[in-house]
Chain A
Amino acid sequence: MPAAPTKSQTTPGPPQGVQQGEARDLLAHAVEEAARLLDADGAIVYLVDAAEKRLRFAVDAGIRDPEAQRLIRDLSLPLGVGLFGRAITRGEAFVTSDYPNDQRFAHSPIADRIVTITDIRSMAAAPLIADGEVLGALGAYTSRVDDFGDAQVSLLRALADHAAGAIANQRLIERLALSQAELARRVSAQRALGEMATQLTSLRDPSEVLEHALRAAVRLLAGDGGQIGTVGADAEGLLRWLEGHSLVHDDLTAFTKEDRTPVDDGVSGRSLREGRPSWTADYLPDESFSHDEASDAVARKLGIRAVIAAPMVGEAGPMGAIGVYAERPEAFGTEDAELLGLLADQVAIVLTNARLNAEADVAAAALARQIDSQRRLLQINQRLLSTLEPAGVLELIADGLKNVVWYDNLGIYRVEDDGTMLRPVLARDRDAAAVLDFTIPRGSGLTWWSVDHREPVLLNDALSDPRVIPIPNTPLDPEAIVIVPLVSGEEVIGALNIGRVGGEEVAFTDIDFELVQLFATQAAVAITNARLYDALRERAEAQRSLAQIASEIASLHDPQTVLQHAVADAARLLRADRAQVNLAREGSEVLDPPIASAPTPPSAEDVVVPIGSGIAGLAAAECRVCWTGDYLADSSFTHDEGDERIREQGIHSMMSAPLREADRLIGTITVQSKQRNAFTEEQGELLTLLADQAAIALTNARLYAELGESERRYRHLVDYSPDIVWSVDADGLFTFLSDSLEVRTGWKAAELIGKPFTVLADRGSIEGAEAAWASMIANPEEEQRVRLDLPLANGDVSQAEVAMAATVVDGRFAGAHGSVRDISERERLEGDLRRQAGELAAGQERAHLARELHDSVTQVLFSMGLTLRSLELLLESDVEAARAKVTELRDLQKDALAEMRTLIFELRPASLETDGLVSALRTHATAVQRRTGMALVVDAEAIPRLPLATEEALYRIGQEAIHNIVKHANASRAAVRLARDGDLVRLTVTDDGGGFAPGDVPRGHLGLLGMRQRLDLIGGELRVESAPGRGTTVDASVPVRDEAAE
C-alpha cells in the first residue's frame, strides 16, 4: 500500500515505531524506571528494525557526554552484535559484570567507544518480547564492576516484559488508527465514485463522459494526469484508440486522428489484454510490459513515474481504457486499481447507455417518420376512395411525400394511351414550369428507362449516369434522383420522380427509396382511377350515339313499329289520353284515318280529317305544331262535323304536329286530353321531335316501298348497296363483280374478273371458303353462308359474310352467285349492344357488391386507425412493440390496396383485360382470406386468356361462390381451382363447410340462378354438389372456342 496521497512530513532518523510521541514517552518512562529501580547510572532501549535486520537506538536515560550522545543516537548494529544484540538473539536477559572485558559477545567499536566514554562496567539487557516477536531490548548499566545481582536482572526482565506489552499495545493502537484512516479514505473514495457515476449518467455526449471520467480518476487517485479513450478493432483485428482525452495537470487535449494507434503497448495495453487493472511503480525502467518509443518520450518529457490503467469493458468486449500517472514512483497499489476498475466499469456502462440512447433516438426518429408516412398514405387512401378525380389526390401525394422525403423537385408523368410519350401531370417546386412544358418522347432519358424496365431507380450522382438527359430549359446541376414507375396490374402507366440538388450530403437513403415507392403505389391507383373515369365518360357518349344509330337502323326496316313507338311515346310523355298518326297521300285534301294510335289501336270509327279544319287539319295545312286548351270553345281554327265526336269523347285539349318529308306534308301526329289546357309550348317541341322521327321512318319506308323488282332497281341496289354482288363460273372464276367492290375493298372489278374466288379470302379463310364451295356443289338447292376475312387492297383485312347460291342451268351446275357483306361494323355494334345488355343486367348486383367491398376497405382503414393509435401509445414505452405495429400497419395497407384492386374490378370489369382472370381471382381470394381468416387457396394452371365476357363471368361466379362460403358454409378452408379440361375451362370452388341438402336451398338463394344465367350467356354449364356435413363443390365449365370458330 502506498503512502497516503497527502504529502506527510516524515522525518528521517528514529526507526519505525518510535516516531509517534506516545511510544517515545512510554520508552522514556521505561528507561527512567529501569535506571531508578536497579539503582543504575543509566538505561537504554534499542529497537529492532525488522526491515533491515538491525538494532537501532531508541531512547536513553543517563548519558550526559555530548560525544556519547551523538554516537548513540546514530547507533545501528547488526543483530547479535553488542550486549543488547546478544540478549535479542538469545531471547533472554544477558548480564556482564565488566563490559569492555567480557568476550562472550561480539563487540562493536562504536558501542565500545560509547562504553569507554560513559565509563560503563556492569550492564544487563533484557529482550522486549511481545506475542513471540522480539521488538528490541531494555538495558541498564553502572560504572561499577559486577554490580547486577539476580534480583536486579529479574526486575529488569519484568520491566522489559512490561515495556514490550506496552509497545505492542501501542503498535496495535497505531495500526488500528491507520486502518481506520484507510477505511475513511476508502469510504470517501467510494462516495466520490458514486457521485461521479451519477454525474456521468446524466451526460449523454460520450465525449463529455470521457472527459468527466478522466478528471474524476485523476482526482480520486491523486495523480498528476492521465488519459482516457475508446478503442475499436481495425481491419486486422488490432485495437486502436478512437476518441478520448489526455489530461496533464489541468490541460485537457482531445485525441487527434494521429492518436489512433494500436494499443498493445504500455500499461493500458496490458490492462486491455488482461481485462483487468494494471499498474507500474515506475514506468520507464519497468520491463514487465512492452514499451513504445513515443510513449516513453512522453513519459520522459512529463516526468511520469507511476502509471495505473484499467480497461472499460462492455458487453461486446473492451470499449476503451482509462489511465492515471503520477510524477512520483510507487504512487499506486491494489486499492487504487480496484477504485480505477470500478470507475472504468461505470464509464463502460454509461458509454453503453449513451450508445443505446443514441440508437434509440435514431430508431424513434425513423419510427416517427414511418408513422407520419403511414398517416399520409391513409389520408391518400381515404381520398382515393372518395373521389375518382385524380388531381387532388396527386397533390396530396406530392404534399405527403415532401413531408417524409424532402425533395427540390417532383414530377408525376402519365404514359400516353398510344405509349409514345410521357406526359407530365404534376410538377412541383424547382423548374416546375419547364417540367410541365416538356413531354418526354419514348425511350429518352432515365424516366423512360425506368418505365421500360419496370424498375425503380435510385441515383445519388445523376451527372455520372449517361442515361440521364436534362429537361430543356433547366440547369444541369449535380443531383440525387429517385424514379419509380407507376404500375397498375401488368401495365406501367406512368412514373414519379423526385430530385435533390447537391452532392453527397443530399443522397437518398434506402428508407427514402422505399417510402417513395410506397407513395408511388398510391399515385398509380390515382392515375388508374383517372383512366377509369375517362373510359366511363367516353363509353357513356358512345352509348348515346349508338342509341341513335340503332333507332335509324330499326326505322329503315320496320316503319310500323317506329310509328307505334312514336304514338306510345307521345301519349306517355305528353300525358295524353290518346295519340295517333294520320297520313296524307300526295295531292290529297284529307288526312287518312289513323295508321297507328295509342293506347288503343285505330278503330273503324276513326275518320278522315279535312286538311285545314280542326287542330290536326290546321297543323297539316300550316305545317306547324298547333294546339288548343279547350277544343270546342276555341274559335281560332275552323270547326267541322268532327266536333261531335270530340264532344262525345269529352276531349278538351288537343295538339297536333305535321310529319314532313323535305317540304312535303306526309301526315300528322296528334295528342288529345280530356283535361283543359293540358298541353304547353314545350310539349309542342317534344311532339315535333317525335313527328320528325316518325317522318324519317316513313320516308325510308316509302323509299323502300317505291323500289320495285325491276332491273333498274336491282342495278341500283347492287351499285349502291354496301354489299358486293358477284357471280362465278363452274370453275369458281369470277365473271361479275359489282362496283361496290372498289368502294369496299379498293380492288377494281376488272382486276379480279377471271381469277378464282379464293382471291377474296384471306389466308386463314381459304379453307372455309373452299368448304362452303364444296358443300354448295353437293347441295345446289341450299344457300351457303360463310364468314371470311376479306383481304383489302391496302393490305388490311375486313370481316365479311358471304351468301352464295348455285347457278343451275338445264339441271347442271353452272357456277354460283351471291353477295359479300362487310360485317366488321355490325360485329362491333352487336358486341357493344351485347355488352350494354350484360352491364345493365349486372348493374344492380354490382352496386350491391361495390357497397360490400367498400365496407371491407373501410374496415381495413378503421383497423389502421386503431393500430396507429396503439403505435402512438407504444412509441413512448416500448419501441420494439411499436416496431411490430408498423409491420401490422404495412400489412393492413397491403390489404387496403388488395381491396381497392377488387373494387376496381367491380367498377370496371375491363380491368380483367389487364390483370387477367387468374390474377383477379388471386387478388380477391387474398382479400377475403385476410378479412375472414379462412384459408383460401387459389390453384390455377396456365390457361390461355379467354374472351373478356368469359373471364368476367368466371370471375363473378368465383366471387359469388366465395361469398356463399363466407356467409353460409362455416368452413375453415376453401379452394378455388381453375384448369383446362379438354376444350373446356373449368372453375371449381370447394369448401369443407356444413354443406346443404339440395332440396333445402330456397329458390333464388345462394345466387345459383345468377350463376346459371351468366353461364348460359357464354354457353357454359354449372354443377353444384353438396350434402349436409360434406362441404360444397361449385363447378362451372365453359367451352374454349378457337378464334376461327368465333
Chain B
Amino acid sequence: MTQTPLTAVASSPRVVIVDEDRRVQQSLADLLRLTGRVDVVGRANDVRSALELVEREDPDVMIVDPRLPDLEAGAALVSSLERSRPKMRIVLAGWSVTPEQPELLTGACSYVSKNGSPEDFIAAVVDACCTPTRLSLL
C-alpha cells in the first residue's frame, strides 16, 4: 500500500461505503463509480465488517451512515477510527439536515445530508471525498 502523498491527492481517492442497507450501498457505489472521481474499494453493513474492511483496504475515505443500526454504534465506529486512522477522511451521510451528533464532526469528518436531491447528494459526497482534510503537520 502506498502512502498518501502529503501535498495533494494525485489519483482518485479510494473509498469504502458503510451503510446498514445493502441496496443503498449498491446504488451509491454504482453512482460514485460513474462519476469517475472516486474509486470504491469496498462496502460494509455493520461496525464489525466496517472495521475489518478498513483494516484490509486502508482506504482514503469512509462514507458512513452512522445508524448501524443505531446512532451509538455509528458514533463508536467513527471515534474509534478517528483515533486509529487519523489520515482517513470520514464522510457522515445522515438523514437529518444537520448532523444528529455534531460532536463527531470535530475530527476528520464532514457531513452530507441524504435529504436533498440525488444530484446534490452525490456532488456533496464526491466533494467531501476529494477535498483533502487538514493533515496534522508536525
Measured CB to CB, the nearest residue on chain A to B73 is A967
| Per-position 1/0 for A677-710, Cβ under 8 A of B | 0000000000000000000000000000000000
Q: Is the CB of A866 within 8 A of B31?
A: yes
Which B residues, 84 to 128, have Cβ-Cβ distances below 8 Å to chain A? 95, 114, 117-119, 121-122
Q: Is the CB of B30 within 8 A of A930?
A: no
| Per-position 1/0 for B11-43, Cβ under 8 A of A | 000000000111110111011001000000000
Measured CB to CB, the nearest residue on chain A to B95 is A858
Which A residues, 854 to 877, have Cβ-Cβ distances below 8 Å to chain B? 855-856, 858-860, 862-870, 873-874
Q: Is the CB of B69 within 8 A of A856?
A: no
Q: Is the CB of A895 within 8 A of B23?
A: yes
> Of B20, B67, B122, which one neighbours A869 at CB under 8 angstroms?
B122
Q: Is the CB of B69 within 8 A of A967?
A: yes
Q: Complex: how many Å from CA A885 to CA B26?
A: 11
Q: Is the CB of A866 within 8 A of B28?
A: yes
| Per-position 1/0 for A92-136, Cβ under 8 A of B | 000000000000000000000000000000000000000000000
Nearest-neighbour CB distance to chain A for B124, whole angstroms, equals: 13
B-side contacts of A888, CB under 8 Å: 26-27
Q: Is the CB of A865 within 8 A of B69?
A: no
Q: Complex: how many Å from CA A297 to CA B67?
A: 85
> Of A860, A862, A869, which one neighbours B119 at CB under 8 angstroms?
A869
Q: Is the CB of B34 within 8 A of A867?
A: no
> Of A856, A865, A874, A895, which one neighbours B117 at CB under 8 angstroms?
A865
A-side contacts of B117, CB under 8 Å: 865
Q: Is the CB of B22 within 8 A of A933?
A: yes
Q: Is the CB of B34 within 8 A of A931?
A: no
Q: Complex: how many Å from CA A966 to CA B70?
A: 12
A-side contacts of B134, CB under 8 Å: none
Q: Is the CB of A866 within 8 A of B122?
A: yes
Q: Is the CB of B118 within 8 A of A868?
A: yes
Measured CB to CB, the nearest residue on chain B to A970 is B48
Count B-side interface residues using an 8 Å CB cutoff. 23
| Per-position 1/0 for A561-599, Cβ under 8 A of B | 000000000000000000000000000000000000000
Q: Complex: how many Å from CA A866 to CA B26?
A: 10
Nearest-neighbour CB distance to chain A for B71, whole angstroms, equals: 12
Q: Complex: how many Å from CA A65 to CA B45?
A: 117
B-side contacts of A932, CB under 8 Å: 20-22, 45
B-side contacts of A895, CB under 8 Å: 23
Q: Is the CB of A867 within 8 A of B22?
A: no
Which A residues, 936 to 985, have Cβ-Cβ distances below 8 Å to chain B? 966-967, 970
Q: Report, as a range, how many residues of chain A touch the other chain.
A: 20 to 34
B-side contacts of A933, CB under 8 Å: 22, 45
| Per-position 1/0 for A908-938, Cβ under 8 A of B | 0000000000000000000000111100000
Q: Is A892 an interface residue (CB 8 A)?
A: yes
Which B residues, 22 to 80, have Cβ-Cβ distances below 8 Å to chain A? 22-24, 26-28, 30-31, 34, 45-46, 48, 67, 69
Q: Complex: how many Å from CA A869 to CA B116?
A: 13
Measured CB to CB, the nearest residue on chain A to B26 is A863
Q: Complex: how many Å from CA A868 to CA B34?
A: 12
Q: Complex: how many Å from CA A866 to CA B95?
A: 15
Q: Is the CB of A862 within 8 A of B24?
A: yes
Q: Complex: how many Å from CA A874 to CA B35?
A: 10
B-side contacts of A931, CB under 8 Å: 20-23
Q: Complex: how many Å from CA A528 to CA B5?
A: 59
Q: Is the CB of B48 within 8 A of A863?
A: no
Q: Is the CB of A869 within 8 A of B118?
A: yes
Q: Is the CB of A862 within 8 A of B22?
A: no
Most chain B beta carbons < 10 A, residue from A856, A869, A930: A869
Q: Complex: how many Å from CA A272 to CA B52?
A: 65
Q: A862-B114, A866-B28 are in contact. Are A930 and B34 (CB under 8 A)?
A: no
Q: Is the CB of B27 within 8 A of A930?
A: no
B-side contacts of A970, CB under 8 Å: 46, 48
Measured CB to CB, the nearest residue on chain B to A931 is B21
A-side contacts of B27, CB under 8 Å: 862-864, 866-867, 870, 888, 892
B-side contacts of A856, CB under 8 Å: 21
Q: Is the CB of A863 within 8 A of B122?
A: no
Q: Is the CB of B118 within 8 A of A892?
A: no
Nearest-neighbour CB distance to chain A for B80, whole angstroms, equals: 18
Most chain B beta carbons < 10 A, residue from A868, A870, A888, A970: A870
B-side contacts of A864, CB under 8 Å: 27
A-side contacts of B46, CB under 8 Å: 970
Q: Is the CB of B69 within 8 A of A867?
A: no
Q: Is the CB of A859 within 8 A of B21?
A: yes
Nearest-neighbour CB distance to chain A for B50, whole angstroms, equals: 13
Q: A858-B95, A873-B34, A933-B45 are in contact. Are A866 and B118 (CB under 8 A)?
A: yes
Q: Is the CB of A867 within 8 A of B45?
A: no
Q: Is the CB of A870 within 8 A of B22?
A: no
A-side contacts of B22, CB under 8 Å: 930-933
Q: Is the CB of B31 within 8 A of A870?
A: yes
Q: Is the CB of A859 within 8 A of B48?
A: no
Nearest-neighbour CB distance to chain B for A478, whole angstroms, equals: 44
A-side contacts of B48, CB under 8 Å: 970
Measured CB to CB, the nearest residue on chain B to A967 is B69
Nearest-neighbour CB distance to chain B for A924, whole angstroms, equals: 16
B-side contacts of A874, CB under 8 Å: 34
| Per-position 1/0 for A655-674, Cβ under 8 A of B | 00000000000000000000
> Of B24, B30, B118, which one neighbours A859 at CB under 8 angstroms?
B24
A-side contacts of B26, CB under 8 Å: 863, 888
Q: Complex: how many Å from CA A863 to CA B27?
A: 6
B-side contacts of A860, CB under 8 Å: 21, 23
B-side contacts of A855, CB under 8 Å: 67, 95
A-side contacts of B122, CB under 8 Å: 866, 869
A-side contacts of B24, CB under 8 Å: 859, 862-863, 866
Q: A867-B31, A870-B30, A874-B34 are in contact. Are A930 and B23 (CB under 8 A)?
A: yes
Measured CB to CB, the nearest residue on chain B to A859 is B21
Q: Is the CB of A863 within 8 A of B34?
A: no
Q: Complex: how many Å from CA A932 to CA B31?
A: 20
A-side contacts of B69, CB under 8 Å: 966-967
Nearest-neighbour CB distance to chain B for A482, whole angstroms, equals: 31
Q: Complex: how many Å from CA A930 to CA B26?
A: 12
Q: Complex: how many Å from CA A967 to CA B118?
A: 28
Q: Complex: how many Å from CA A856 to CA B95?
A: 12
Q: Is the CB of A869 within 8 A of B23?
A: no
A-side contacts of B67, CB under 8 Å: 855
Q: Complex: how many Å from CA A60 to CA B90?
A: 106
Nearest-neighbour CB distance to chain A for B10, whole angstroms, equals: 25
Measured CB to CB, the nearest residue on chain B to A867 is B27
Q: Complex: how many Å from CA A863 to CA B26?
A: 8
Q: Complex: how many Å from CA A740 to CA B50?
A: 75
Q: Complex: how many Å from CA A859 to CA B20?
A: 10
Nearest-neighbour CB distance to chain B for A880, whole angstroms, equals: 14
Q: Complex: how many Å from CA A888 to CA B26?
A: 10
Q: Complex: how many Å from CA A601 to CA B113?
A: 60
Measured CB to CB, the nearest residue on chain A to B115 is A862
B-side contacts of A892, CB under 8 Å: 23, 27
Q: Is the CB of B31 within 8 A of A859?
A: no
Q: Complex: how many Å from CA A862 to CA B46?
A: 19
Q: Complex: how many Å from CA A967 to CA B69?
A: 7
Q: Complex: how many Å from CA A93 to CA B25?
A: 102
Measured CB to CB, the nearest residue on chain A to B36 is A873
Q: A862-B114, A932-B45 are in contact. Are A867 and B30 (CB under 8 A)?
A: yes
Kindly list 4 other residue pairs between chains A and B, CB separation below 8 angstroms, not including A863-B21, A885-B30: A856-B21, A862-B114, A866-B31, A870-B30
- List, sorted by A's number, 24 A–B pairs whose CB atoms are closer than 8 Å: A855-B67, A855-B95, A856-B21, A859-B23, A862-B24, A862-B114, A863-B23, A863-B24, A863-B27, A866-B24, A866-B27, A866-B31, A866-B122, A869-B31, A869-B119, A870-B34, A885-B30, A888-B26, A888-B27, A931-B22, A932-B20, A932-B22, A932-B45, A966-B69
Which 8 pairs of residues, A with B, have the shortest CB-CB distance?
Answer: A866-B27, A869-B118, A865-B118, A863-B27, A859-B21, A863-B23, A933-B22, A867-B27
Give residues in B with beta carbon < 8 Å to A.
20-24, 26-28, 30-31, 34, 45-46, 48, 67, 69, 95, 114, 117-119, 121-122
